[in-house]
């Protein structure tokens, strides 16, 4: 079934189409939110709110502006940034928001250990960044989105995305080497 068609059906109140969208995107959204620095319970709450907003606002979706996946990820990003901006929030990047059946589950023990160490280094690096920069890096390197898609999510130009990615990576590498 075409996801654009499903969103149109959701706008008309189709619960089955909504279920298909949730099933197709919940793991990705949940993992993305975890990489944004949210604990498992908070990531779950924000993922649920993301899908509730999708349900309520499906009629506003415009396929000319973004793909459905980009639109859904943008909703999740905005909710996460709002949550992370609340005063007195201490955020720790954890691995407990990993979606089930990750790639590490299918690796040999030494490969799994290496992948786990790499993921821990990524999480430690992300923890040092501002939430908006975590979103940028998670979208690029974890979600493997293209520059144009990231620019739509972040609300900026592809050039700005490139500059921000380079600057943040340079910061991280300089801190790690120094």
pLDDT digits (tens, 9 = 90+) for 82-101: 998 877 554 444 444 444 44
pLDDT score for 177: 64
The angle formed by the CA atoms of residues 56, 62 and 68, to the nearest 5 degrees, is 75
Query: pLDDT, tens digit, for every residue of 74-84?
Result: 999 999 999 98
Q: What is the per-residue pLDDT across 5-49, written as a single tens digit (0 to 9) for each?
A: 789 899 999 999 999 999 999 999 988 898 888 888 899 999 999
Going by C-beta distance under 8 Å and a sequence separation of 6 or more, which residues neighbour residue 123? 35, 93, 94, 95
Structurally, how many domains does the chain consist of? Answer: 1
CA gap 65, 133 in Å, rounded: 23
Per-residue pLDDT at 74: 93
**Is residue 57's pLDDT more than 90?**
yes
- Amino acid 36: pLDDT: 84
Q: What is the pTM of this model?
A: 0.65
pLDDT score at 4: 63
User: CA 157 to CA 146: how far, in whole Å?
Assistant: 12
> Domain limits at 16?
3-177
Per-residue pLDDT reduced to its tens digit, 129-171 = 788 887 887 787 667 788 888 888 888 888 888 888 878 777 7
pLDDT digits (tens, 9 = 90+) for 108-129: 677 778 777 777 776 677 677 7
**CA 100 – CA 158 distance, rounded (Å):** 32
Q: The domain spanning residue 60 has which CATH number?
A: 1.10.1740.10
């Amino acid at each position: 079934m075409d996801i654009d068609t499903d969103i149109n059906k959701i706008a008309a109140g189709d619960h089955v189409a909504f279920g298909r969208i949730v099933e197709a995107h919940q793991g990705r959204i949940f993992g993305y939110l975890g990489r944004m620095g949210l604990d498992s319970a908070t990531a779950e709450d924000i993922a649920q709110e993301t899908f509730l907003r999708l349900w309520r606002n499906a009629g506003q979706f415009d396929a000319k502006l973004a793909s459905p996946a980009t639109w859904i990820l943008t909703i999740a990003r905005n909710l996460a940034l709002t949550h992370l901006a609340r005063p007195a929030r201490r955020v720790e990047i954890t691995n407990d928001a990993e979606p089930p059946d990750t790639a590490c589950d299918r690796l040999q023990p030494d490969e799994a250990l290496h992948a786990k160490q790499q993921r821990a280094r990524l999480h430690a690096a992300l923890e040092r960044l501002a939430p908006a920069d975590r979103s940028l890096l998670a979208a690029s390197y974890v979600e493997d989105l293209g520059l144009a898609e990231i620019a739509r999510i972040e609300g900026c130009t592809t050039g700005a995305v490139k500059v921000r990615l380079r600057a943040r990576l340079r910061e991280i590498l300089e801190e790690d080497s120094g």
